[in-house]
Amino acid sequence: MPVLVVGSVALDSVETPFGKREEILGGSATYFSMAASFFSPVRVVAVVGEDFPDAHLTMLTNRGVDLSGLVKRPGRTFRWKGRYTAQQLNEAQTLDTQLNVFEQFEPELPEPYRATPFVFLGNIDPVLQAKVLDQVAKPMLVAADTMNFWIRGKLDDLKKTLSRVDLLFVNDAEARELAGESNVVRAVRRIMDLGPKTVAVKRGEYGALLFHGEKVFSAPAFPLADVYDPTGAGDSFAGGFMGYLARCGVVTDEHLRRATIMGSVMASFAVEGFSMDRVKLLTEPEINTRFGSFRALTQFEELSPGPLRQAG
């Protein structure tokens, strides 16, 4: 089944302990689409400026991503500048955000997009996220992502959007900030009160926790010696997760668990290179092998029989 994504398509300038890159392809919708495209047809709703290189669009179409909902408008493309330090690789320090063409953007879904069963509201103004929801007919699953920029700047609008969302992807610091609660489990409960009954908490190199009603599932992160660029890990996680779920076409506890692992698989590839450098070269056998490695990471036998030692 297809997945619809609204989010940013960006030119990023990024600094990590491995180097510096200027104006590389980024954006929440871009990372999401690349990851999800391995599993399901992807439909993008976004805007770019006149300065956006056509080569980037070609790369996405070559992966089968439907760009009929991506418009080019007069002005400059969305830009984001961020830095990661060796001490703090899990969280970007935002140095600059230029909304540019996103400031005037009014998303309009092409007719065939409106019946898409799986919808992902990528990290973008919550008002725009809601405008996309207004145009889709009864999706099977509505998921969303957000970040501190919108939690701080548009909290009321974000809460309105969240009341219409089934699944929220959020990193742990943002979950705490959104809920005003320092314990992650309690923060998730408060977020569930706002709407989403499933919450995926991304914890960078510590993996992810999936809260689904009363149930909790924990996925590790793939232990990597070299994290080149953490940008896009969250959106690639969401892309792998949603793409996999849409491919299955059902949302059960068991599918959500496997989706969490597939999200972790795609995030682990995304951080192995700057921008889409690694993911654009990815093959199916590589994805399957890493999925297997994730199983092996947490597989262990039952406790051997025999009583434990008694006190005294």
- Residue 33 contacts ligand AMP per CB under 6 A: no
Sign of CA dihedral 261, 263, 266, 272: negative
Single-letter amino acid, residue 126: P
> What is the distance between the alpha carbons of residues 7 and 31, in angstroms, rounded to a whole number?
10
Looking at beta carbons only, is 21 or 290 nearer to ligand AMP?
A: 21
- Long-range contacts, stretch 242-245, CB < 8 angstroms, 24+ apart: 242/3, 242/32, 242/36, 242/40, 242/118, 242/120, 242/141, 242/143, 243/3, 243/35, 243/36, 243/37, 243/38, 243/39, 243/40, 243/42, 244/39, 245/118, 245/141
For ligand AMP, which residue of 49, 69, 204, 234 counts as binding (CB under 6 A)?
234
Among 38, 80, 169, 217, binds ligand AMP (CB under 6 A): 80
Q: Using the rule CB under 6 A, is 10 a contact of ligand AMP?
A: yes
Number of residues that bind ligand AMP (CB under 6 A): 18
**Which of these segments, 20-28, 108-116, 189-197, 301-309, binds ligand AMP (CB under 6 A)?**
20-28
264: contact with ligand AMP by CB under 6 A: no
**Residue 38 binds to ligand AMP (criterion: CB under 6 A):** no
> What's the min distance (Å) between Cβ of 172 and ligand AMP?
13
For the CB of residue 165, give the shortest distance to ligand AMP in the complex, in Å: 17
Q: What's the Rg (C-alpha) of the chain? A: 19
Work out which of 34, 45, 46, 124 binds ligand AMP, going by CB under 6 A: 124
Longest dimension (CA), the chain: 79
- In the complex, least distance from residue 9 CB atom to ligand AMP, rounded to whole angstroms: 8
Q: Does 269 bind ligand AMP (CB under 6 A)?
A: no
67/60 Cα distance (integer angstroms): 8
CA dist 312 → 59, 306, 307 (Å): 68, 18, 15
Contact between 31 and ligand AMP per CB under 6 A: yes
At position 105, the amino acid (one-letter code) is F
Q: Which of 5, 15, 16, 26 binds ligand AMP (CB under 6 A)?
A: 26
Q: Does 263 bind ligand AMP (CB under 6 A)?
A: no
Phi, psi torsion values for 80, nearest 5 degrees: -135, 140
Phi/psi at 46 (5° precision): -165, 175
CA angle, 288 then 168 then 253, to 5°: 55
Region of 189-197, 229-237, 286-294, 300-308 interacting with ligand AMP (CB under 6 A):
229-237
Based on the shown chain and the rule CB under 6 A, indicate whether residue 273 belongs to the binding site for ligand AMP.
no
Q: Please select the residue that binds ligand AMP; options are 231, 260, 264, 268, rule is CB under 6 A.
A: 231
Does residue 12 belong to the site contacting ligand AMP (CB under 6 A)?
Answer: yes
* Among candidate residues 133, 199, 203, the one with its CA nearest the CA of residue 166: 199
Under the binding rule (CB under 6 A), the answer on residue 233 touching ligand AMP is yes
If one asks whether residue 123 binds ligand AMP (CB under 6 A), the answer comes out as: yes
- Footprint on this chain of ligand AMP (rule: CB under 6 A): 8, 10, 12, 26-28, 31, 80, 97, 123-124, 147, 149, 231-235
